[in-house]
Amino acid sequence: MKPSSREPGEGLFDLIEEAVHLLRCAPLSLHAAYAVGALPFVLAFLYFWADMSRGAFAREHAAFGAVGMGLLFWWMKCWQAVFAAAVRAQITGRAAAPWTLRRAGHLALTQLALQPSGLFAVPLAMVTIFPFAWVYGFYQNLTAAGADPVGLGPACKTAAAQAGHRLGQSWLMLGVLSLFTLLVWLNTISAMAILPSLLKTLLGIDTAFTRSGIHSIFNTTYFACSFALTYLFVDPLAKTLYVLRCFYAQSIHSGDDLQADLARLRSRALPAANS
């Protein structure tokens, strides 16, 4: 047996199952928190993409558009950290800490100061391959622990330590996530291609897509739309997986996983005892 497989913590497929279960059982408010951040960014990004690829005056307002995209990226990251905090509260079974002005300010600062570097670091790590799992994990962990009111230095230190935790599992998880993302993208782009034809065949509704035929598919905006939709479908799962990884990594020292299990057992036992 390799040393890495003896390391404490949950197995990869248990982790994936738990993440899917958490998302399925999650209240609507949790999904809404994600959507509030991600939807404006994705819609603005698609508009930005279409404008820069076709707009007659695109060159003149490229800088202004880039500032807007930067702000919306920050907005999305903040809400993703809120989503991660809510997922964490669901895992532990404890009520999430109240949102004070200080906590919100800290979250906004952490996400604005640290996350944008990931826009360059993650693609660079992807090209160089070897540090990818660590770098990607680091930025996901910053989101996962973004709502904790600690300083920027401790937040980086914790995220780095957790990114290095069970690196083998992290690589395997990225492999599974990549495969899943590819399948979701194939499904999305197939649905996008087939839906207009189905609308025409079944309901007789003619759209620009059916009129253009195959040429409506082979343009960059169409592909950008399919990637954006795939991101919206897959990213909540990726975030939940990294929140779980961070939770189990911290539990080795804090025993939080045992407390969460006990709280769960207690909540099941109380109604049974009362009845």
Partner 1 sequence: MPSLAQQHCLNHPAREAAVQCPQCRHFFCRECVTEHDDRLLCAVCLRKESRQTGARRRPFRALARAVLAMGGLLTATLFFYGIAQALLLIPAAWHDGTLWKSFWSSVQ
Cβ contact 15:241 at 8 Å: yes
Q: Please select the residue that binds partner 1; options are 65, 93, 131, 149, rule is CB under 8 A.
A: 65
Q: Please select the residue that binds partner 1; options are 115, 141, 158, 230, rule is CB under 8 A.
A: 115
Binding to partner 1 by residue 104, rule CB under 8 A?
no
Binding to partner 1 by residue 93, rule CB under 8 A?
no
Binding to partner 1 by residue 69, rule CB under 8 A?
yes
The dihedral through the CA atoms of 94, 97, 99, 105 has a sign that is negative
Region near partner 1 per CB under 8 A, out of 1-9, 160-168, 215-223, 253-261: 215-223
Binding to partner 1 by residue 63, rule CB under 8 A?
yes
Record the tokens describing residue 234, joined without a space. 């897959």
Amino acid at 142: L
Q: Please select the residue that binds partner 1; options are 156, 219, 233, 257, rule is CB under 8 A.
A: 219
Binding to partner 1 by residue 109, rule CB under 8 A?
yes
- List, in order, residues 6 or more apart from 86 with CB less than 8 Å away: 26, 29, 30, 33, 96
Task: Output 227 or 248, the one with its CB closest to partner 1.
Answer: 227
Residues 125-184 that bind partner 1 (CB under 8 A): 152
CA distance 155 to 125: 21
Cβ contact 228:42 at 8 Å: yes
Cβ contact 165:4 at 8 Å: no
Closest among 244, 50, 45 to 162, alpha carbons compared: 244
Q: How far is the CB of 45 from partner 1 (least distance, A)?
A: 9
CA distance 61 to 59: 6
Record the tokens describing residue 181, joined without a space. 């993302």
Binding to partner 1 by residue 209, rule CB under 8 A?
no
Record the tokens describing residue 108, joined without a space. 């906004």
Binding to partner 1 by residue 74, rule CB under 8 A?
yes
Task: Output 66 or 182, the one with its CB closest to partner 1.
Answer: 66
Q: Please select the residue that binds partner 1; options are 114, 133, 147, 155, rule is CB under 8 A.
A: 114
CA 116 remoteness from chain centre: 15
What are the counts of helices (DSSP H) followed by strands (DSSP E) for the chain?
A: 11, 0
Task: Output 89 or 224, the one with its CB closest to partner 1.
Answer: 224
Binding to partner 1 by residue 117, rule CB under 8 A?
yes
Task: Output 120 or 130, the one with its CB closest to partner 1.
Answer: 120
- The contact set with partner 1 (CB under 8 A) reads 48-49, 52-54, 58-59, 62-63, 65-67, 69-71, 73-74, 109, 112-117, 119-120, 152, 214-221
